[in-house]
Structure 1
């Protein structure tokens, strides 16, 4: 975690405006509202746009399978040193088909014993993080396993989760109750 306390504190139920309550209501109906959403609700109009794009990325409309999508999200979150993002998506990744060993190997990068398809996804996330560009070699590797829509969705997914990580890190969004920070992300 980059910050030990929030710069922008999550809005409490007792302090919700009508607009904030409206945007958080569907989440509250499903259970506790996560700190990311309570923080973003400080600006409900921005949050509404954010949720629209985020819902595409996390839906079946994204051409990547859930496992492949989570590879891109987790690698991006790790590269951005976003403890909150990593913590939230480890569980999602495990439910999407990654195993504990794969989650840990994501930290090591594309040469840590991955299949060619998985390595291409990780390498693409690395290049987008480093250069905001996928090289011809990595694009060709992606093309061997993923169609055009899926390749576009790799870029969309890495871009979305870079933005999410920037917000989480800068706003100082803290882990939700009961979560534990991965030791490899302490001090970042």
Structure 2
């Protein structure tokens, strides 16, 4: 975590406006509202727009299967040193079929043993996007051997969305939700 306290304080439920309540109402049906969303409530218009695009990236409309999508999300979060993002998505990645060993190897990248060719291509593409904001020709060709065009587009969309999310989390100082523990590899960032 880069900050030990929020720069943008999450909106307290007792002070939510009608507009803010309308944004979080669907979330309340699933449980407590996460700190990321309570923070975004401070800018309701942006929160509404953010939820539409973020909803696409996390939906079944995204042509990447959930497991592959989570590889891209976790690698992006780790490269951005976004402790909150990593912490939220590790359980999601497990539900999507990633093992604890695979999750640990995501931190190490594509060149460690054990990755399938498609998984390594996803990791390399995510690294390219993080480093260059561009998928290099060799990596694009590697992706093309395993993923159709719309899936390759969704790799870029997913990495881009979670780069933005990581920037917001890090810059706004969004703190972990109650009961969560920060991965030791992300302490001190």
Q: Give the TM-score normalised by structure 1.
A: 0.99
Worse-superposed segment, 166-175 or 107-116: 107-116
Which structure 2 residues correspond to residues 1-188 of structure 1 after superposition, within 5 A? 1-113=1-113, 114-188=115-189
| 1:108-129 Cα shifts (integer Å, max 9, x gaps) | 0011121110000000000000
**Displacement over 6 Å in runs of 4+:** none
Q: Distance in 2 between matches of 1:121 and 1:90?
A: 17
Q: Distance in 1 between matches of 2:19 and 2:164?
A: 23
| 1:120-171 Cα shifts (integer Å, max 9, x gaps) | 0000000000000001000000000000000000000000000000000000
Q: Give the TM-score normalised by structure 2.
A: 0.99
How many residues are treated as equivalent by the alignment?
188
| 1:16-70 Cα shifts (integer Å, max 9, x gaps) | 1111111011101211000000000111111111000001000110000000000
Deviation at 1:15, TM superposition (A): 0.9
Deviation at 1:102, TM superposition (A): 0.3
Report the secondary structure of 2:62's partner residue: coil
